[in-house]
Structure 1
Amino acid sequence: MAFFTRQDDNRTLGGRLALGVEYDGTRYCGWQRLRHAESVQGALEAALSKIAATPVRVLCSGRTDSGVHATRQIVHFDAPVARTQKAWVFGTNAQLPRDIAIRWLVEVESDFHSRFSALARRYRYVIVNQPTRPVLERHNVTWCREPLDADRMHRAAQVLVGEHDFSSYRAAGCQSSTPIRHLHFIEVQRHGALVVIDVQANAFLHHMIRNLAGVLVAVGRGDEDEGYPARLLALRDRTLGNVTAPACGLHFVDVRYDERFALPEEPVGPQMLGFLGDWTGDRDVIPDTPLMRRRRVWPKWIDDNGRVVESNAATGEEMNS
């Protein structure tokens, strides 16, 4: 199994490095570093800086909100000094709190960017559907005591697949310049008491998945009919939407990049769903769109004639994250 690869303790690694990070977001304000609260980024940078003996700043594939978890957050940084792979991974983990860990670290080409090279991001929203509150899983799932019809939720969600204006599913304070996103797939399945919403897109708006989950739970309980997600999508008005589902059930589980970067593959989390046997990259569902073609050659660009050029100055288009 790839995640049992021995950590190199001989050759030093420098230049641009990519790492996979897992964290329990319960006690953090989210990924992004803030002055007034603890963040995952702040804790990771502090730990890496101790190993490097100089300040280190990192960039991530996608910022997560307060209370949201991750099993495969992809991060990159330009190492100010060279250290062995073992020192970067195990040394940094020794400096991190117990709710954050580096899973792997590799050298990457200088044009790799954890955010702008990403082709797709995948999340799983996990609901424990039972009459009594969960105990052992309480920080990593959302509890719903009313019976949910997962098949009904799945059918209702399929209208969301494809490129749409998701204004009705974004937070009121969302700062994205466009509400357009391309949903690659969304599935709702039941596994015993667990109901799992599995969704992948090129990117997500602020609170988009939690708002999707709130809408689908309303459908699953029978409060709304199966046409509700489609009607809400067409309205393009968040104020007419349903409640935002709690953050504790949301897990950032995968990021896809062009194959040339050859990042390590690993089981898709969270570990409570390990019995499904999914590995990152198993699903080849990334559409061949202009955005995806641009991402594969970033930081170069593709002009109107399909030629790769040095920058996006020819088109002036915004790189959508």
Structure 2
Amino acid sequence: MELKRYALAVEYDGRAFNGWQIQPDVATVQGEMERAIGRMAGHALRVHAAGRTDAGVHATRQIVHFDTAVNRPITAWVRGVNSFLPSGIAVLWAQQVPDDFHSRFVATARHYRYLLLQHPVRPSLLAGQVGWIHNALDLEKISAASQFLLGEHDFSSFRAAECQALSPVKQMLKIDIGQQGDLIYFDFSATAFLHHMVRNIMGALLHIGKGNESPEWMQWLIAQQNRSVAPPTFMPDGLYLTGVSYPEKYGLATEPIQRFGLI
């Protein structure tokens, strides 16, 4: 029987999972996806994703793909698979794609949002869904500093030690920062991201926003290409993978998406 390739858009609450990548003896998003899709397909299979999110990181539109020779209506890969998934994961849509599609290797950009609560008291209802800082922040300084990140750079100063990327050179395409009440959002779009890159950038931006350094310090930090001189990695709680871009020929709805307002 001929193999067919399917792409799925998936959202998940990262709090219940030890990241995307499958690991023994712990719950992961990939592990749950392979179990649920495998039950629907009636055979074991491998699910590939556009990117590996860390433990505690969420997604509003992660793109994955898998291969199967089993014929099922497209609704089976949405509602059917969802019936086998835990409540923290849901398939949003499914679509058959050409054999040359690969959720990771043909992606042209990834999009992340970091949602930050600036408030004297830690969150309760939004615990785990937003980052939190009690300090007053200077958003003008943060926005000015963020401009130094645009374009192609060696992002080694924001790269985790365990990062497996072949090169630290990435292109930051867009950064947008805004505020609604006590919530501040940070939108990042890049060709690709290094391990912990967004959380490490957040640590540096907040360091500047608290008045510890000038916006120009970000330019110096990038030039150092040295993780040890940068501020600590910020918490994963408010980080969302919001979309993945692909060439138009695949016809996928993959623009960044925020669910339920800011999230």
User: What's the TM-score, normalizing by structure 1?
Assistant: 0.79
Alpha-carbon separation, structure 2, partners of 1:63 and 1:133: 28
SS of the aligned residue for 1:26 comes to: helix
Residue 36 of structure 1 deviates from its aligned partner by 3.0
Does the 8 Å contact 2:243/2:255 carry over to 1?
Answer: no
Alpha-carbon separation, structure 1, partners of 2:160 and 2:199: 10
Q: Which of the pair has more CA radius of gyration?
A: 1
Q: Which residue of 2 aligns with 1:75?
A: 64
User: What's the TM-score, normalizing by structure 2?
Assistant: 0.96
Higher relative contact order (CA 8 A, sep 6+): 2
SS of the aligned residue for 2:214 comes to: coil
Residue 219 of structure 1 deviates from its aligned partner by 1.0
SS of the aligned residue for 1:107 comes to: strand
Alpha-carbon separation, structure 2, partners of 1:191 and 1:240: 32
**Pair 1:90-2:79 in alignment:** yes
Q: Which residue of 2 aligns with 1:186?
A: 175
- What pairs with 1:304-315 in structure 2 (closer than 5 Å)? none
Aligned pair partner of 1:131 in 110, 113, 120: 120
Q: Which residue of 2 aligns with 1:61?
A: 50
Q: Which residue of 2 aligns with 1:30?
A: 19
SS of the aligned residue for 1:253 comes to: strand
Does the 8 Å contact 1:73/1:254 carry over to 2?
Answer: yes
Aligned pair partner of 1:229 in 197, 203, 218: 218
- What pairs with 1:203-218 in structure 2 (closer than 5 Å)? 203-218=192-207
Residue 271 of structure 1 deviates from its aligned partner by 2.7
- Code of the aligned partner of 1:149: D
Residue 87 of structure 1 deviates from its aligned partner by 1.6
Residue 270 of structure 1 deviates from its aligned partner by 4.2
Residue 265 of structure 1 deviates from its aligned partner by 5.1
Alpha-carbon separation, structure 2, partners of 1:53 and 1:167: 44
Q: Which residue of 2 aligns with 1:162?
A: 151
Does the 8 Å contact 1:148/1:217 carry over to 2?
Answer: yes
- Code of the aligned partner of 1:210: R
Deviations 1:8-52 (A, max 9, x none): xxxxxx711100000011121110101131110000110011111
- Runs (4 or more) in structure 1 with deviation over 2 Å come to 264-267
Does the 8 Å contact 1:54/1:80 carry over to 2?
Answer: no
Deviations 1:55-110 (A, max 9, x none): 12111111111111001100011123011112221111011000000000011111
Q: Which residue of 2 aligns with 1:293?
A: none
SS of the aligned residue for 1:247 comes to: coil
Q: Which residue of 2 aligns with 1:201?
A: 190
Alpha-carbon separation, structure 2, partners of 1:15 and 1:238: 43
Deviations 1:143-195 (A, max 9, x none): 11111122221111101100001111101221222110000011222121111
Percent of residue pairs identical: 44
- Code of the aligned partner of 1:151: E
- Alpha-carbon RMSD across the aligned residues, in angstroms, is 1.3
- What pairs with 1:279-290 in structure 2 (closer than 5 Å)? none
Deviations 1:277-314 (A, max 9, x none): xxxxxxxxxxxxxxxxxxxxxxxxxxxxxxxxxxxxxx
Q: Which residue of 2 aligns with 1:143?
A: 132
Does the 8 Å contact 1:151/1:188 carry over to 2?
Answer: no
**Pair 1:240-2:229 in alignment:** yes
SS of the aligned residue for 1:83 comes to: coil
Q: Unaligned regions of 5+ residues in structure 2, if any? A: none
SS of the aligned residue for 2:249 comes to: helix
Aligned residues: 261
- What pairs with 1:239-318 in structure 2 (closer than 5 Å)? 239-264=228-253, 268-273=257-262
Alpha-carbon separation, structure 2, partners of 1:108 and 1:173: 33
Does the 8 Å contact 2:111/2:256 carry over to 1?
Answer: no
Q: Unaligned regions of 5+ residues in structure 1, if any? A: 1-13, 275-321
Residue 260 of structure 1 deviates from its aligned partner by 0.8
